[in-house]
Amino acid sequence: MYLLEAKQVHKSFGENHVLKGVDLSVAEGQVVSIIGPSGSGKSTLLRCLTQLETADRGDISICGRVMTKEENGRAVYSDKNQLRSIMLDVGLVFQNFQLFPHWSVLRNLTDAQVRVLGRSREEAETIARDLLAKMKLSEKEDAYPCQLSGGQQQRVAIARALAMSPKILFFDEPTSALDPELIGEVLEIIRDLAKQHMTMVIVTHEMTFAREISDRVMFLEKGSVLAFDTPEAIFADASHGRIQAFLSLLHK
């Protein structure tokens, strides 16, 4: 079963045609990485899928629920309640963490559970502490985000997203804002999630990592899908001349 199905998604900002008909399907338990040069529309695609931007055209369904459907050449969005329930099935990890600085780590993880999902405080705290333990951050529950390293902040942000029990988790360049020595600890967490068959869509510049954990890799360029294939095919196949050129540039 596909948890995410997007067909012919278009998005323009004024004259700038950023997404030119992107298709993406993600099956339950799959990990899909989206790679490509900067400005190729990777982040815009992710933002359309997480409702942070509205697509101009195309169909998007998440967890079997229609988010938007194309009618007469424009995307028609479902009603507010449907969009909200889709939102709750989805988690997003930002490049710049976007933790809430005025709350402790624990409150960052529990507040939405209580306020949005209506869980009891005790239940929310149990879930939060469990996740913090998995992130190896148990001793930091009373700390404030500004007291943590970038890697720790991003792990808290991942825990905050997971605390809402999403069915599919999106990552927007989760390691791009980190110092090189802190990237490993975040990738390790994502790797663990992949092993537990968390459905994930990851925009990343970490090619080795994408190759290692992905079931499918999408190469996006200038708003179009150049290839959507297994990592072996993407990274090894010489037939994707443009992709090879991009990868070799990265290695320089």
Site residues for other proteins per CB under 8 A: 50-52, 84, 87-88, 90-92, 94, 96, 98-102, 111-112, 115-117, 144-146, 160-161, 164
| Nearer to other proteins among residue 88 and residue 233 (C-beta) | 88
Distance in Å, CB of 64 to other proteins, minimum: 19
Distance in Å, CB of 144 to other proteins, minimum: 5
Do 66 and 82 form a contact (C-beta atoms < 8 A)? Answer: yes
Q: Which residues pair with 93 in a beta bridge?
A: 171
The Cα–Cα gap between 109 and 44 comes to: 26
Distance in Å, CB of 102 to other proteins, minimum: 5
For residue 140, what is the DSSP state? G
Distance in Å, CB of 14 to other proteins, minimum: 18
| Nearer to other proteins among residue 201 and residue 207 (C-beta) | 201
Distance in Å, CB of 170 to other proteins, minimum: 9
| Nearer to other proteins among residue 121 and residue 242 (C-beta) | 121
| Nearer to other proteins among residue 145 and residue 231 (C-beta) | 145
Do 135 and 143 form a contact (C-beta atoms < 8 A)? Answer: no
| Nearer to other proteins among residue 58 and residue 145 (C-beta) | 145
Terminal alpha carbon distance of the chain: 40
| Nearer to other proteins among residue 25 and residue 95 (C-beta) | 95
Distance in Å, CB of 4 to other proteins, minimum: 15
| Nearer to other proteins among residue 138 and residue 165 (C-beta) | 165
Q: Compute how many other C-beta atoms are within 10 angstroms of the C-beta atom of residue 154.
A: 29
AA letter at 132: L
Do 131 and 117 form a contact (C-beta atoms < 8 A)? Answer: no
Distance in Å, CB of 59 to other proteins, minimum: 21
